Amino acid sequence: MNLHKVTKIAAIVISVLSLAFLGGLMASSGETEDNSWISPLIYLSYIILIATVLVVLIYVLKNLFTHKEDLKKTMIFIGMFLGLILISFILADGSEVKSATNEIIASESTSKWVSTGLNMFYLLAIVAIGTMFWTGFNKIKK
């Protein structure tokens, strides 16, 4: 039995179990005292998510280390991404956020990291829009 068949059978079994658990969850969702079995299912979903991420990372890293030119390109793009994070952090505003009653809603560091995330979003949006225009321009030019 090859790996494709095993994977297909495992996916079918997990799908049937998921549908059964979903049906049980939907049938008892109105009763709050009978929902004690939901917490183990949430932990099970965390375990499955972690296992999936680990398998994907193993295969991605294996593929990267077997193709050195792809590894070089990946490292260049990771460096560029980290550079954008650094630029976003430098440009971020780190002032405290206070309410109308002068209570501190967000500290300076929280404000700095939220501002960094927003700046990063704006920079990546500009890069994405610029890339779309660049590829459209090159298609028109040809």
In the chain, where the domains are located: 38-141
Q: How many residues does the chain have?
A: 142
Q: Summarize pLDDT for 22-31 with one digit per residue, the tens.
A: 777 777 656 5
Contact criterion met (CB below 8 Å) for 85 and 99: no
pTM, 2 dp: 0.60
Contact criterion met (CB below 8 Å) for 97 and 104: yes
Q: Summarize pLDDT for 55-75 with one digit per residue, the tens.
A: 999 988 888 889 888 889 999
Please state, in angstroms and rounded to a whole number, the distance separating the CA atoms of residues 72 and 78: 10
At 18 the pLDDT is 83
For residue 41, is pLDDT > 80? no
For residue 108, is pLDDT > 80? yes
Percent of the chain with pLDDT over 90: 39
Beta-carbon neighbour count of residue 25 at 10 Å?
13
